[in-house]
Amino acid sequence: MPKAVVCREVNKPVSVEDVQLEKPRRGEVMVRLVASGVCHSDLSITDGTLPVALPMVIGHEGAGIVEVVGEDVTRVKQGDPVILSWVPSCGNCRFCLVGSPHLCANAGHATGGRLKDGTTRMRDSSGTDLSMMTATATMSELTVVGEESVVPIDPEMPLNRACLIGCGVMTGVGAVINTAKLEPGSSAIVFGAGGVGLNVIQGCALAGAAQIIAVDVVDQKLEFAKTFGATHTINAKELDPVATAKELTAGLGPDYGFEVIGSPTTIEQAHRAIRRGGTAVVVGMGRLTESAQVNALMLAFDEKILTGSYYGGARPLVDFPKLCSLYQQGKLKIDELVTQAYKIDQINQAFQDMEAGKNARGIIQF
């Protein structure tokens, strides 16, 4: 039986358990994970920020090797290296057909921790069903997913780096390139320099931003931000980020603002910081019970755009291979993201280190 990370109660340490795994059914694939990223969204399951059906095998940012394919699977074959996508786009709904598969109308089952037929392939040692985070459950030595959740990649791409493309890299870089469509020579401010925030920063650098201002309250994270392309840093415990950003941009404010925390306060700050006619992009996932406020008069007067970015506007079959190629060409920093590799039994330590800001990104390496 494979080992997996199981969340049974919110605000409690997760457990590492032996789980029962069914073979893939029609249209499904079994993947042996090589690595899984330790993402803040995983932590958000454990603290109740993201409400889900527990108990659940967590993890949604992973890469591995196809072990078994079910009937009628055509996208991959046994032995293929793959990245898992946590939005299993159907390819047939309106959103998929217009080029927005990350908004797939038929992906709701994944949010509920189930595969397309409404069931799960994972059970605990007593036979109790275990939900599968985003229908991928990547914090497991083995997982069974729908064919629509696997993206084949170049065999030369190291899988302990490719795993981060499945969420953090795609979400951050995609928010800049796919959602904001940042213009070269622009200025940008990024609130939050965690794993995804660093990818927003390097996305701005890739897109040719001339000025990139990173905001955080942890000095170590701001040092990481410089490595990924930040030209200026602001510790929000010491300086007002809105006022300081305007000072750095001749009083106007940056052209683009990115919020990568999910806090009403920083969403409001990102919107206030940008110039008139600028674009603020919310990447962070907040709580369902919280709301951010925008001044009703100034919303029209300043013509600022406030928008969300879900999964960086991912087109996994197109974007994942592109990001792999950028890494292989030395243009995309992923080695620098992986500052600590953990064994699966060290997952609670990995969460503690992430909350303390010790890592740019940690991974579980199987």
At 123-176, the pLDDT tens digits run 999 999 999 999 999 999 999 999 999 999 999 999 999 999 999 999 999 999
Residues 350 and 245 in one domain: no
CATH number for the domain that contains residue 228: 3.40.50.720
The reply to whether 108 and 226 lie within a common domain is: no
pLDDT at 360: 84
Average pLDDT on 267-283 reads 98
Q: What is the domain count for the chain?
A: 2
Q: Is the peptide bond before 81 cis (omega within 30 degrees of 0)?
A: no
Q: Are residues 20 and 97 in the same domain?
A: yes
Whether 315 maps to a domain, the answer reads: no
What is the CB neighbour count within 10 angstroms for residue 78? Answer: 12
**Pair 360, 282 in one domain:** no
* Same domain membership, residue 352 and residue 237: no
Query: In terms of domains, do 9 and 143 share one?
Result: yes
Is 299 a member of any domain? yes
Q: In terms of DSSP H, where are the helices of the chain?
A: 40-46, 94-97, 108-111, 159-162, 168-174, 195-207, 219-227, 241-248, 264-273, 296-301, 316-328, 347-355
> In this structure, are 151 and 238 located in the same domain?
no
Instruction: Give a yes or no: residue 318 inside a domain.
Output: no
Same domain, 11 and 41: yes
Residues 246 and 151 in one domain: no
What single-letter amino acid sits at 302? Answer: D
Rounded to the nearest 10 degrees, the angle between the axes of helix 219-227 and helix 195-207 is: 30
Mean pLDDT, rounded, for 232-257: 98
Residue 115's pLDDT is 97
Q: What is the mean pLDDT of the chain?
A: 96
154/26 same-domain check: yes
Q: Is residue 238 part of a domain?
A: yes
Taking 90 as the threshold, does the pLDDT of residue 359 lie above it? Answer: no
d(CA 360, CA 339): 6
**Is the per-residue pLDDT at 121 higher than 90?**
yes
Q: Are residues 139 and 261 in the same domain?
A: no
- Clarify whether residues 148 and 186 are in a common domain: no
| pLDDT score recorded for residue 357 | 83
| Residue 227 structural domain | 172-309
